[in-house]
Amino acid sequence: MSDFLKVDVQSLNALFGHLAEQDEKVFWMISPDYTKQLYVSDAYNSVWQRDVAQMYSNPASWADTLVGDNAEQYYQLLKSRKPQATESNNRNTQLYRIHTSAGEGQVKHIKDVTFYLYNELDQITAIAGLAEAITPEQWHQEKNLCCDMTPEKNEALVSDLQRIIKQELKLNAVATPHAVLLDEKHDKFQHVFTREGKRVSLTKRELSCLMELFKGKSAKQIAEDLFISPRTVESHISNIKAKLDCQNIVELVTKIKGFAV
């Protein structure tokens, strides 16, 4: 039994198992602070090729499967997101890549439709999602839509999931904002997209500096990696902060929601 959700794993499996297993989609639920795994469907075994029991004993092990130079920043971004009423109609897809345990170097591209679950007191009870492996082509198509503010068309499976959550668990499923896993292949990006819905154009050099900031690097380290002077890096960062109306680096990094071409 969970302090966050008063339903046991067996009951959740009875409610949701048949929905996810038919298409090898992984239905999961986790506490709002990401410290307690409330449920993971058995499809996790085949999609991630890892034991479901590992998620219950160590929910953070999911982050260890992420692929990308900024995987840790991405995980922290997910944990720090706060739902807002204005976000309920936005796309609610997370995109990331994972290493499976089937062999070194095997990577899968994951699309994860996620929700915040609220009780009758309007308190966040859990975060839930329906994850599936898709082709690299499909993943990149989804990635290009990361700044599309139009509502996402729910598939029948997602609608069924929301209905069961409402009827059986007495919880409201509210869509999360879209997030995208940033990686080293960012040459095509030209804009950043803020949490407030602002789309801002950046130069290639500004974007390169910003990507390095996401990796936690200092201006000196960025200068060494990009073969430019620290003063030039600081100038680019200053320009980015001005464009995004930010006072410091922390505000700058946390304000960004996604990237687009």
pLDDT at 16: 66
pLDDT in tens, 1-26: 345 566 666 666 666 666 655 568 89
Q: With contact defined as beta carbons under 8 Å apart, do 79 and 34 qualify?
A: yes
Sign of the dihedral through C-alpha 167, 171, 174, 175: negative
DSSP string, 199-230: EEE--HHHHHHHHHHHTT--HHHHHHHHTS-H
Confidence of residue 192 (pLDDT cuts 50, 70, 90): confident
Q: Is the pLDDT of residue 57 over 90?
A: yes
- Cite the residue boundaries of each domain of the chain with CATH code 1.10.10.10: 191-260
Q: How far from 8 is each of 20, 40, 55, 143, 177, CA to CA, in Å?
A: 18, 12, 15, 35, 28
* C-alpha distances in Å from residue 157, one per residue of 37, 41, 118, 164, 189: 22, 15, 20, 11, 32
The CATH fold assigned to 191-260 is Arc Repressor Mutant, subunit A (1.10.10)
By the 8 A CB rule, do 115 and 162 touch? yes
For residue 6, what pLDDT is reported? 62
For the stretch 87-120, pLDDT in tens is 444 457 788 889 887 555 588 999 998 888 888 8
From CA 250, how far away is CA 161, in angstroms rounded? 36
Listed in order, the ranges of the chain carrying CATH 3.30.450.20 are 9-180
Q: Which residue has the higher pLDDT, 176 or 190?
A: 190
Query: What pLDDT is recorded for position 53?
Result: 93
Q: Could you report the per-residue pLDDT of 217-231, keeping only the tens digit for each? A: 888 999 988 888 899
Domain 9-180: which CATH number of 2.130.10.30, 3.30.450.20, 2.40.10.10, 3.40.50.300: 3.30.450.20
Q: What is the pLDDT of residues 157-167, one digit of tens each?
A: 667 777 777 87
pLDDT in tens, 42-52: 889 989 999 99
The residue among 115, 110, 67 whose CA lies nearest residue 91 is 115
Please determine, for residue 175, whether its predicted confidence score (pLDDT) is greater than 60: yes
